[in-house]
Amino acid sequence: MTKPVEGTEAPPQVSGLAATMTVVAMGLGYSISLTDPTILSANISEVRAGLGMTASTASFVTSLATLALAAAVLGAGALGDLYGKRRLFVIGLFGAVVFNVMAAAAPNSATLMVARAGAGIGFALLLGLSLAIVNDVFPPERRAAAISLYLGASFGLSALQPAIGSLLAEHFGWRIGFLVAPVVAVITLVITLRYVPETARAPRKLDLAGVGLVAVALLAIVYGISRLAEGLKPGAVVPIVIGLVAAVGFVTHELRTPTPALDLRIFRSRSVSVAVSAGVTKNFLTGGCTILFAYYLVAIRGESPALLGLLLVPATILQAFAAIGSGRLAERIGNKSVLVAGLVLLLGGLLVLTLLEENSPMAVLFAAIVLIWLGGAVVQTPQSTIMMSSAPPDLSGAVAALKSATGQAGYSLGPTLFALIGTSLFVHDGELELADSNITEEQAREALRVAHGGTEAGSGGTNVLDPDRAREVVSAASDSMVDAIHTLSLIMVVVPLAAIVLALVLLRSDKETTPDAT
């Protein structure tokens, strides 16, 4: 563990009922950031019709909270380190209430955009600080177990919220769907104010330049990635280039400033580098495979997009148990073994996808979903423990936010890259059949274009493509779509394999993974 910075207060600690309620409150807060974008994604068609939005405006609204979250999350961690993580977490809860109520009452698309951007900043505070609070208020000997319980609670508490939001929207109108997050936020606020102590504050100045540069970098990169679904056009390439330039500027600035928002020296730890790569892998595959699940269910099988949401409910509940169990297992066999096991499960999920045929039993698809979701949960527990054990006490918020920021980038890249490659494979293999049905390549790509608005946690939005048009296009060459899923799954096998090799080579095999400078 890194030694405390001189002048840093001793962190508060919780036990008994306060410890339990702290885990519940942080899990609830995290679950809001997981599920609220999914609820909107599932109901965006009704929102679009209600406010008379164009398709492009609706797509932008769907992703706006995620973009704001990506831009603000590292800044949220830095602010929490300086001004108190509980205080900023509470502000995030107020933001979730105020801006979601504003969205529910929005008279036009402009108001809704403002509300979604504000909500995204609130979600950044919840996502970026909940893990850091758990890390700070539990003593070192109980920290790994607390983190696994927190992740388990997050997954478990997020399992039913999207279904509840969609049911409410279906029966009472799309505006009611925005009110799920405020209700959960109020419950979380009551528990937080009653049981969660304020964390120690770091005696440093706010690195405004660093926070600004990383906000520009994350916002531009995530936005550019989301636009890649339309091809290598200026609207995608230019933001990515701007983001990369800002990222270089951020690294250069952080290495020179005496009070960095994120001390980049933590990357001298091989453990942290492996943990970050494993987390990006997990989010990349979780987001990307959601697209394959939807292609298979909606475009090939002709099922309702809602069926994917229903299949994700038991898988998410299993994630909760996996997160808790992997934490306990790590105490016995070490973080390295558990991290590798999670990556192997992700690999297994991809391989199961290669077995899918047009009329395969639904159990085959569910097996793939479960393996991907369980693998993600198993990876996330040791990843969180490794990163937080390497965090300097005055930068725990920034390190926790770094985990979320890199995960968000991976989760944004996954759906886009899977859709781009999968569609290209489909169009190439089914060229003749599509031509016979008078479907052009551009029409096929447009029908299968991703409209994705999920977050890094991997809840997985169900509104990922136009169902009717996708079925129409894929029915002209369904065998080609099945083959595309098989080929894409095999191509993506290289991602978890690379992460496994990195973990086996660079991670120590001792039970308590500690920072190890290279």
Residues 209-227 have pLDDT tens digits of: 888 898 888 888 878 877 7
Contact (CB, 8 A) for 410 and 282: yes
Find out whether 73 and 215 touch, Cβ atoms under 8 Å.
no
Tokens, residue 350? 């991809």
Predicted local distance difference test score (pLDDT) of residue 455: 57
pLDDT attached to residue 206: 79
Give first-to-last CA distance, the chain, whole Å: 16
Q: Please tell me the predicted confidence (pLDDT) of residue 234.
A: 85
- Closest of 490, 481, 489 to residue 357, by C-alpha: 481
- Tell me which amino acid residue 166 is: S
Predicted confidence at residue 53, as pLDDT, reads 85
Instruction: Tell which residue, 318, 313, 335, has the closest CA to residue 381.
Output: 335
Give the pLDDT band of residue 181 (cuts 50, 70, 90): very high
| For range 502-509, the mean pLDDT | 85
Q: Give 215 or 188, the one with higher predicted confidence.
A: 188
Residue 464 pLDDT: 55
3-class state of residue 110 by DSSP? helix
Kindly give the residue spans of alpha helices, DSSP state H, lying in 138-179: 140-158, 161-172, 174-177
- Residues 422-444 have a mean pLDDT of 83
Are 210 and 264 spatial neighbours (Cβ–Cβ below 8 Å)? no
Alpha-helical (H) ranges within 334-466 are 335-353, 362-389, 396-429, 431-436, 441-447
- Average confidence (pLDDT) over 59-80: 83
What the block records as the tokens of 123 is 């979600």
Distance from C-alpha of 269 to C-alpha of 516, rounded to nearest angstrom = 5
- Secondary structure letter of residue 296 according to DSSP: I
pLDDT computed for residue 374 by the predictor: 95
Q: What is the mean pLDDT of the chain?
A: 85
Region 392-415: what's the mean pLDDT? 80
Cβ pair 262, 395 in contact under 8 A: yes
pLDDT in tens, 445-502: 777 776 554 555 444 444 556 677 777 888 888 888 899 999 999 999 999 999 999 9
User: What is the structure's pLDDT at 509?
Assistant: 63
Check: CB of residue 413 under 8 Å from CB of residue 31.
Answer: no
How much of the chain exceeds pLDDT 70, in percent? Answer: 92
Amino acid 57: pLDDT: 80
Q: Decide: residue 113, CB within 10 A, 0-12 exposed, 13-18 middle, 19+ buried.
A: middle
Reported confidence tier of residue 9, pLDDT bands at 50, 70, 90: low
Q: What is the pTM of this model?
A: 0.85
pLDDT tens digits, 311-362 = 888 988 999 999 999 988 988 898 999 999 999 999 999 999 999 998 899 9
User: What is the pLDDT at residue 40?
Assistant: 85
In the 8-state DSSP scheme, what is residue 269? B
Cα separation, 405 vs 182, whole angstroms: 24
Amino acid found at 64? L
In sequence order, the 6+-apart residues with CB closer than 8 A to the CB of 488 are 292, 418, 421, 422, 425
pLDDT in tens, 189-199: 999 999 999 88
The arithmetic mean of pLDDT across residues 128-147, rounded, is 89
What confidence score (pLDDT) does residue 31 get? 92
The model's pLDDT over 364-395, given as tens digits with 9 standing for 90+, comes to 999 999 999 999 999 999 999 998 887 777 77
- Token pair, residue 188, equals 């979380």
Q: What is the predicted pLDDT for the residue at 495? A: 95
What pLDDT digit, counting tens, does each position of 12-51 carry? 777 789 899 999 999 999 999 888 888 887 788 788 888 9
Of 54-68, 284-298, 361-375, 504-518, least confident by mean pLDDT is: 504-518
Better-scored residue on pLDDT, 401 or 364:
364
CA atoms within 13 A on the CB side of 343: 28
Question: What pLDDT does 1 receive?
Answer: 39
**Percent of the chain whose predicted confidence (pLDDT) is above 90:** 36
Residues paired with residue 517 on neighbouring β-strands, in sequence order? 269
Alpha-carbon span 64 to 453, nearest angstrom:
8
